Chains A and B, each alone.
Chain A
Amino acid sequence: MKPLLEIDDVSVHFPLRQGFMQPGLTLRAVENVTLSLQRGKTLAIVGESGSGKSTLGYSVAGLRKPTSGAIRLNPQRQSERGSGGIQMIFQDPFSALDPRMMVEDIVAEPLRLGETAFARKERRAKVAEVLEQVGLPADAANRYPHQFSGGQRQRIAIARALIGDPELIVCDEPLSALDVSIQSKILNLMDDIREKYGISYFFISHDFGVVRHIADQVAVLYLGRIMEVASADDIFSKPSHPYTQALFEAVPRIGRGRRQKGHALKGEIPTPLNPPSGCVFHTRCPRARENCAKVRPKLEPAPGRPGQLAACHYKD
């Protein structure tokens, strides 16, 4: 069976105009990314800011056309309601909802864009159904976004995504604006929805605790390129790429005691306008040798683990 989502050698470039008569620059946000996502599973994209993870998410959601390559969705359900297909949840639930619209209109908006026209009564019923599904009271429909807390707003955003009966939801850091005690509730809700509706998530996050919990597959991005991609179990138990290892090491954890100095990854992510030669990570890599600056490593299986791919000459 075909995977639900296929990302085939996708690159996203942004041409930047300099001045008159000066050559333009190209910002390479995403470079030759190939990924696939199975039905009902969650693919997490992790990386630092500037790694291109949001750009890739926007392209998957159809909000940004790739410069080259193809993104294919192989839907199975014939969606009778709304636009179906792909929906998106954003990071900041305060700016993602129109403050002048009532919750009912916000949640029902995907229905207006679909092929099927809905009578007002039917529309109301559907809104009530999804609001209940995300754990909001029925009277929420007649209120405005400012009357809700951050967690409740994120529930409204999830309800809006659900109403079109999507098979894939692109989630761009959906929890990072929320308090910790709210995060776990929203995560549990997303778990439930995935199970009940057979939805897949394309889940962009920088929180490794969250990724460990929700992801089946994990792809690590650096300067728009995949450094490592594997099942969550493999990558968390034995990260192969030095960048993945450094990222995991940097995550603060309870129970390690006061931090030991000197383990932090040095430097910052370079500019995607002028990425380093060879392996793009070599400027910060503790394992870098001479050929790393010259030869770009291919994404290949880690020794003894055929399902775990890493782009490194000296992978574990």
Chain B
Amino acid sequence: MGFVANTLRLNAEAQTAPLLSVDDLTVSFPTKGGGHNAVVTGLSYQIAQSETLGVVGESGCGKTMTSLSLMGLVPGRGRVTGRIGFEGRDLLQQSEKQWRDLRGREVAMIFQEPMTAMNPVMSVGQQIAEVLKVHEGLGQRDSLDRAIDLLKAVGIPSPAQRARDFPHQLSGGMRQRAMIAMALACRPKLLVADEPTTALDVTIQAQILDLIIELQEETGMAVQFITHNLAVVSELAHKILVMYAGRGVEYATSEQLFDQPLHPYTQGLIQTLPDPDRKVDRLHVIHGSLRVQPAQGCRFASRCPLASDECRAAEPILREVAPGHFVACVKVN
């Protein structure tokens, strides 16, 4: 477990224990044949207070399951193993009651589409107030006053009137702000944001990113920001974890990752993005598709321009190739 040892050493150097420390997280679902199919395999990462981790990957890479396991919300018969250390305790050992206390109070989540994440028949103000009633025992009037303050804090104009509105009466950007207000009602230590700006226009996306940064500076919360958009995380994240087919393939600071991407998948993702500032004749492509995965060895091997027999022999794990820069590829020295 060189990776764990190395990260422990790094953390010791930083003199602060990370707020969140995920170790060897695996999420699997039972298959028809009686076996288990892992959608997240052996994932390890940390997030410190006031830090933003960007989790990047395409559909089906396991990024959403990773965040749901932080909330104890992996659906149905999903099995979660490993360790999720949060302020020194292991969340995976908690009872359902302890989960309920934690959710919304210490760890909160915002989703891509607030329309489906909010209750359509409850006013926005009441929904936010509910969080405060449950977790802080506030009464109806106090909780509603606080809800209006929160709506104001996330930049919603005329918050007292908007609090009486129902979700469908707000625009997409305003709904996302309202959901952020709800998530932040109890000042959580960790905010898990799952593609919160994907459904928004670029101008509104910029406003929401500014808001998240501003609130983070104010409250010191840690943020796990999940997205498929590398450009978005490059403007927001301190550290980045790139996922492919349920595995972490590269883990580094934002500067390291964009100055010197090491994994061929990361390189491909960056090159494949059409650049608004530069026109090229032909766009770079990553061949093949995520659906075709080799039975053993590196999961990216069938699409990788560098793949050789060595890659197909054993699955590479994340190893530290420069201080703080981890990559799961045998071709990287």
Interfacial residues, chain A to chain B (CB-CB below 8 A): 48-49, 149-151, 179-185, 187-188, 191, 206-213, 232, 236, 246-259, 261-266, 268-269
Which B residues touch A247, using CB under 8 A?
A: 202-203
Which segment of B19-27, B126-134, B204-212 sits at the interface?
B204-212
Is A209 within 8 A of B274, CB to CB? Answer: yes
Which B residues touch A150, using CB under 8 A?
A: 59
Which A residues touch B275, using CB under 8 A?
A: 209, 212, 253
Q: Which of B207, B214, B234 contacts A255 (CB 8 A)?
A: B234
Which B residues touch A232, using CB under 8 A?
A: 279
Is A180 within 8 A of B269, CB to CB? Answer: yes
Which A residues touch B278, using CB under 8 A?
A: 212
Considering the complex of A and B, which 3 residue pairs feature the smallest CB-CB distances, nearest first?
A209-B274, A264-B206, A252-B231
24 contacts between A and B (CB under 8 A): A150-B59, A179-B290, A180-B230, A180-B272, A181-B58, A182-B289, A185-B285, A187-B274, A187-B283, A209-B273, A209-B275, A251-B202, A254-B273, A259-B209, A259-B213, A262-B210, A264-B209, A264-B210, A265-B206, A265-B207, A268-B171, A268-B173, A268-B174, A268-B204
Q: Which of B174, B201, B289 contacts A49 (CB 8 A)?
A: B201
User: Contacts A181-B58, A188-B282, A255-B234 hold; do A261 and B201 have CB atoms under 8 A apart?
Assistant: no
Min CB distance, A48 to chain B, in Å?
Answer: 4
Which B residues touch A251, using CB under 8 A?
A: 202, 231, 276
Interfacial residues, chain B to chain A (CB-CB below 8 A): 58-59, 171-174, 201-207, 209-210, 213-214, 228-232, 234-236, 238, 254-255, 258, 268-270, 272-280, 282-286, 289-291
Q: Which of A181, A253, A265 contacts B268 (CB 8 A)?
A: A181
Is B258 within 8 A of A254, CB to CB? Answer: yes
Most central of A181, A210, A250, A268 by chain B CB within 10 Å:
A181
User: Contacts A185-B285, A254-B231 hold; do A261 and B213 have CB atoms under 8 A apart?
Assistant: yes
Min CB distance, B169 to chain A, in Å?
Answer: 12
Which A residues touch B236, using CB under 8 A?
A: 258-259
Is A258 within 8 A of B274, CB to CB? Answer: no
Which A residues touch B290, using CB under 8 A?
A: 179, 181
Which B residues touch A252, using CB under 8 A?
A: 202, 205-206, 209, 229, 231-232, 234-235
Which A residues touch B270, using CB under 8 A?
A: 254
User: Contacts A188-B285, A258-B236, A268-B171 hold; do A250 and B203 have CB atoms under 8 A apart?
Assistant: yes
Nearest residue (CB) in B for A243 is B203
User: Contacts A181-B272, A261-B214 hold; do A254 and B234 have CB atoms under 8 A apart?
Assistant: yes
Which B residues touch A151, using CB under 8 A?
A: 289
Min CB distance, A274 to chain B, in Å?
Answer: 15
User: Contacts A253-B276, A264-B210 hold; do A180 and B171 have CB atoms under 8 A apart?
Assistant: no
Nearest residue (CB) in A for B281 is A191
Cα(A261)–Cα(B210), bound, Å? 6
Most central of B172, B202, B272 by chain A CB within 10 Å:
B202
Nearest residue (CB) in A for B57 is A179
Nearest residue (CB) in A for B200 is A49
User: Contacts A184-B284, A206-B201, A206-B202 hold; do A253 and B272 have CB atoms under 8 A apart?
Assistant: no
Cα(A100)–Cα(B210), bound, Å? 45
User: Contacts A149-B291, A253-B277, A265-B203 hold; do A181 and B235 have CB atoms under 8 A apart?
Assistant: no
Cα(A72)–Cα(B32), bound, Å? 57
Cα(A251)–Cα(B171), bound, Å? 20
Which A residues touch B209, using CB under 8 A?
A: 252, 259, 264
Is B203 within 8 A of A246, CB to CB? Answer: yes
Is B277 within 8 A of A48, CB to CB? Answer: no
Min CB distance, A201 to chain B, in Å?
Answer: 15
Q: Which of A206, A213, A250, A253 contacts B283 (CB 8 A)?
A: A213
Is B289 within 8 A of A149, CB to CB? Answer: yes
Min CB distance, A248 to chain B, in Å?
Answer: 7
Nearest residue (CB) in A for B258 is A254
Is B231 within 8 A of A253, CB to CB? Answer: yes
Q: Give 7 A-B pairs besides A179-B59, A187-B283, A252-B234 with Cβ atoms closer than 8 angstroms.
A: A179-B58, A188-B282, A209-B273, A236-B277, A258-B213, A258-B254, A259-B206
